[in-house]
């Protein structure tokens, strides 16, 4: 299986730099953490633990060594030792607390014989004196055999797994940008067989997560501090973590920092939660005793899987109804399906309402016709107009017609035993008499 050269960028913890006599010691440089995913590749804990020993005794050159043609070469190559070695080597490589760690020893006398070594000594002195403005970055060069596999670890997806890790060197970056993106520092590596291989660059973030503003109350408190400019609590995240690191046991490292407490891991990999406080002068102190905790992960159901049978049924129903589904989100599909399910009932309700409206319209038309007929008949023997009678309403018109019929039956008998031909049955009858009677 072909090997691939990987570079892992990280930063040196300023508190880990010390000097004794003519030798500098940089302790606990972290190359990787268990099961981290970088640039789509998983670095399993067992592979990190298995490969870390190969970093022991390897050189820590000034940058990643190149030959005269500008090609990257192994740090153990003679040309690399001649040009890039500056008296720094890797020692005490180990895997503990879920991290791959190594110490770097720098021989001051050998470093001062190299131009870049002189820069390194100056930077280390500044770090020890607390005058360093920028962190020192290092980049671990190692070979891996990548196998194809898909999965997810620590919230990140991967398509490859790193196996059989073999370390070549740990470069100290003095003349190169330490911003560490996959596009920066990419070049070609010349292997032992004289063949060119692509170099892949990644960055490992071993810094603790700033979670001080998580949670409703913490977020509100942080907002108030920003609005009122509370100087007593206006302490930077770096100041807090720097203070906490100085209080941790040897080999321990911070994982997450919240507003009131921090979570740290000891050299054996155990997690602890401990409260801390920040004084008005910016100093940080732990309060109370550490409590061992476990990391809890919440799992949520996946609603967009291809084998989601409910979604398949929804899509089938929408397609059968001729409804466009392409490009719709799950929420849009669900809304469209709910509308489709409701449609038959809504159609029936609309049809019933339409029928009722038709019946109501016909009933009103018949009522209007009857009102017109009665008003016309009654207005024939009255000084009132048809419009006046219509204003009385149907029930009143029926009542007036009934009263008129009664009065007609009580009228005198006409000569010859009947009424004259063409004579109206309401002749001699006045509707006004009823209104006059009712008015008395």
- Measured CA to CA, the distance from residue 356 to residue 351 in angstroms comes to 9
Any long-range contacts for 288-296 (C-beta under 8 Å, 24+ apart)?
290/264, 293/263, 295/271
H or E element at residue 344: helix 330-379
Q: Give the pLDDT mean for 132-136.
A: 66
Range of weakest confidence among 41-55, 203-217, 218-232, 306-320: 218-232
Range of weakest confidence among 57-61, 94-98, 306-310: 306-310
H or E element at residue 388: helix 386-390
Tell me: pLDDT of 132 over 70.
Answer: no
Pull the structure tokens for residue 135: 């962190």
Tell me: pLDDT of 303 over 80.
Answer: no
pTM: 0.49
Neighbour count for residue 90 (Cβ, 10 Å): 23
Q: Report the pLDDT value the prediction gives residue 216, as an integer from 0 to 100.
A: 47
Pull the structure tokens for residue 301: 């159901």
Tell me: pLDDT of 107 over 60.
Answer: yes
Tell me: pLDDT of 57 over 90.
Answer: yes
CA 77 to centroid of chain Cα atoms: 47
- The pLDDT tens digits for 345-393 are 888 888 888 888 888 888 889 888 988 998 898 888 788 888 888 888 8
Higher-scoring residue by pLDDT: 283, 52:
52
Q: Give the pLDDT mean for 11-38.
A: 83
Which of the listed ranges 61-70, 107-116, 299-308, 323-332 does the model predict with the highest average pLDDT?
107-116
- The pLDDT tens digits for 280-296 are 777 888 888 889 888 76
- The pLDDT tens digits for 188-209 are 344 445 555 555 555 555 555 5
Mean pLDDT of the chain: 76
Q: Report the pLDDT value the prediction gives residue 35, as an integer from 0 to 100.
A: 85
Tell me: pLDDT of 301 over 90.
Answer: no
Q: How confident is the model at residue 433 (pLDDT cuts 50, 70, 90)?
A: low
């Amino acid at each position: 299986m072909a090997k691939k050269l990987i570079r892992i960028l990280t930063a040196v913890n300023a508190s880990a730099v010390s000097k004794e006599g003519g030798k500098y010691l940089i302790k606990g440089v972290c190359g990787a953490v268990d099961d981290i995913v970088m640039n789509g590749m998983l670095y399993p804990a067992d592979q990190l633990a298995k490969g870390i020993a190969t970093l022991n005794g390897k050189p820590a050159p000034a940058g990643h060594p190149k030959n005269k043609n500008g090609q990257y070469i192994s740090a153990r190559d003679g040309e690399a030792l001649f040009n890039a070695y500056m008296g720094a080597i890797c020692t005490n490589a180990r895997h503990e607390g879920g991290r791959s760690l190594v110490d770097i020893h720098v021989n001051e006398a050998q470093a001062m014989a190299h131009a870049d070594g002189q820069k390194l000594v100056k930077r280390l002195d500044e770090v020890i004196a607390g005058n360093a403005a920028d962190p020192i970055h290092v980049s671990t060069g190692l070979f891996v055999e990548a196998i194809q596999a898909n999965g997810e670890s620590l919230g990140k997806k991967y398509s490859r797994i790193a196996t059989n890790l073999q370390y070549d060197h740990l470069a100290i970056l003095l003349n190169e940008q330490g911003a560490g993106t996959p596009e920066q520092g990419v070049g070609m590596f010349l292997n032992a067989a004289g063949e060119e291989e692509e170099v892949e660059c990644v960055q490992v973030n071993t810094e603790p997560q700033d979670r001080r503003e998580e949670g409703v109350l913490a977020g509100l408190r942080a907002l108030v501090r920003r609005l009122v400019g509370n100087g007593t609590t206006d302490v930077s995240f770096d100041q807090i973590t720097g203070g906490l690191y100085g209080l941790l046991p040897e080999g321990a490292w911070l994982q997450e920092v919240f507003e009131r407490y921090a979570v740290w891991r000891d050299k054996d990999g155990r997690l602890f939660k401990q409260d801390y406080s920040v004084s008005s002068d910016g100093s940080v102190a732990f309060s109370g005793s550490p409590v061992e905790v476990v990391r809890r992960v919440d799992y949520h159901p996946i609603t967009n899987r291809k084998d989601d049978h409910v979604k398949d049924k929804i899509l089938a129903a929408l397609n059968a109804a001729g409804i466009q589904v392409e490009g719709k989100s799950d929420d849009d599909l669900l809304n469209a399906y709910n509308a489709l399910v409701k449609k038959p009932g809504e159609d029936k309700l609309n049809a019933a309402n339409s029928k009722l409206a038709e019946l109501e319209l016909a009933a009103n038309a018949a009522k209007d016709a009857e009102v017109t007929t009665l008003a016309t008949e009654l207005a024939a023997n009255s000084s009132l107009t048809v419009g006046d009678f219509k204003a009385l309403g149907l029930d009143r018109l029926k009542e007036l017609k009934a009263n008129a019929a009664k009065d007609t039956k009580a009228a005198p008998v006409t000569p010859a035993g009947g009424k004259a031909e063409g004579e109206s049955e309401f002749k001699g009858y006045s509707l006004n008499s009823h209104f006059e009677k009712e008015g008395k």
